[in-house]
Amino acid sequence: MSTITAPPPTAAMSRRGNRRQGVGRLAALLVSPTFLVLLLIIIYPLLDALRLAFLPQKHRR
């Protein structure tokens, strides 16, 4: 029986790994503003509702 071994990693393979990592960073960079806007849209009404729940009636808008 013969055994097949994988070739040692080359410089081209490591460049591909760096490129994939860069693509992941770019994706996170492009998606992060969307998540920030969604977070604000969700958090602000919750905080406002809590504020209104604990204020007396005369201090409400």
d(CA 43, CA 51): 12
Could you say which DSSP state residue 36 is in?
Answer: H
d(CA 1, CA 33): 56
d(CA 6, CA 13): 13
How far is the CA of 21 from the CAs of 1, 25, 28, 47, in angstroms? 39, 6, 11, 37
Domains of the chain, by residue range, sit at 19-56
Whether 60 and 52 have beta carbons less than 8 Å apart is answered as yes
Residue 20 has pLDDT above 80, yes or no: no
What's the pLDDT score for residue 39? 94
Split at pLDDT 50, 70, 90, the class of 13 is: low
